[in-house]
Structures are given as C-alpha cells and as structure tokens.
Amino acid sequence: MTVRDQIRPIRAQDGAALREVRLAALADAPEAFQARLEDEAARPEQEWAAMATLHAASADTTTFLLWQNSRPVGMIGAFFDQGRRDRAYICAMWVAPALRRGGAGGRLVDTAARWLAERGASRVLAWVADSNIGALRFYESLGFVDTKERGEIRPGQGETLLAFDVAIIAGVTQVLCPLESRPQLEETSTS
C-alpha cells in the first residue's frame, strides 16, 4: 500500500483518531503549534467528535488523516480564508517521526492543496514557526515562498507566512508549483 492510499479525508466517526494524532503531534513538536498539549488533552470526547463531524461535512474546512496499520500517523488541515474562495490555508500538518523523509508530508500537503484548488483556491498559505527550521525547509522544497509577512505563534515566538500558487491549466490541477516557475497562459484578445 502506498502513502497516498493511506491518506483519506476525515469521517464523522474519526473523532478519537483526530484526538490521537493531534495529541501525538503536540507531544512531539509543541513549539510548532499554537495549541498546547494540556489544553487539547483536556477537551472532552464530544468536542473531538463534533470537530470530526464538522470537518467531514464542510465545504470550507477539512482534515486529512494519514493511516498506517489502522492507526492515524499524520494529519493536515485545510480551510478557506474568511469569505474568500481564492485564498486558503493548510495547517496542523504533522507526520509521525518514523515516517518522515519518506514522502508522507509532501503527499499530505499535495492532498490538501488539491482539495482546496478543486474548490477554487488559487493561493495556498501556511504559517510556520520560525524556530521550526526543518518545516520551513520542507515547505520551501515543495515550492512555498516567503511572503515576508510575520506573526507570533505565541508571545515571543515568531512565525512566517509561506505561500504557493496553484495553477489550473486545461482542467488539470497543478499544485506544489513554485511561484517563479508557475506556467503562464498567453492572453488572447477578442477584438
């Protein structure tokens, strides 16, 4: 089974799996996420179930889970900017350490970006903690570029907004396309 075969959109019944993978991510890399392990672990099961149900049914936000041997081992969130269909975000991306550097992260990003592009996104953004050099390099290797916009993941800890454009040419969605090498369509005049 390939990694792509193991990635699927969250289902309404995946609340426990969502909780498991989110807590694993926060335990593994607490500096990479705005949420805190203690707070997320304290959420009641009903909240996780409600979140899974919402993400399974929404046209604006979803989560993709990476599965291995019937266990969630990775995740990525995808959502649209408030009131905009052209601009969207990926978030909460995490892959279990044993599966890193094997293509799973890239496939998660690609899956989420395709979902967003199919729904109208032309630009996909990701906030990344400045201290997470590995993640910054990972996203850059996929074609993301620094927008020069800065924020704070929490007081005293900066984050950088990265972006890549999604090109839709002749009905074929091309994602993970660097801004500099995005194919340009010739404009034709109708005079």
For residue 125, what are the domain limits? 3-180
In contact, 98 and 74? CB cutoff 8 Å:
no
Which pTM does this prediction carry? 0.84
Q: How confident is the model at residue 83 (pLDDT cuts 50, 70, 90)?
A: confident
Domain assignment of residue 73, yes or no: yes
In contact, 121 and 59? CB cutoff 8 Å:
no
Rg (Cα) of the chain, in Å, rounded? 17
- How many domains does the chain fold into? 1
pLDDT (tens digit, 9 = 90+) per residue, 95-146? 999 888 888 999 999 999 999 999 989 889 999 999 999 999 999 999 899 9
Alpha helix positions (H), the chain: 3-6, 15-28, 37-41, 45-57, 104-118, 133-141
pLDDT (tens digit, 9 = 90+) per residue, 149-179? 999 988 888 999 999 887 643 344 455 444 3
Domain assignment of residue 186, yes or no: no
The CATH number linked to 104 is: 3.40.630.30
Task: Please report the pLDDT score of residue 165 as a whole number.
Answer: 84
H helix or E strand, kind and range, residue 158: strand 157-169
pLDDT exceeding 70 applies to what percent of the chain?
84
Domain assignment of residue 159, yes or no: yes
Domain assignment of residue 188, yes or no: no
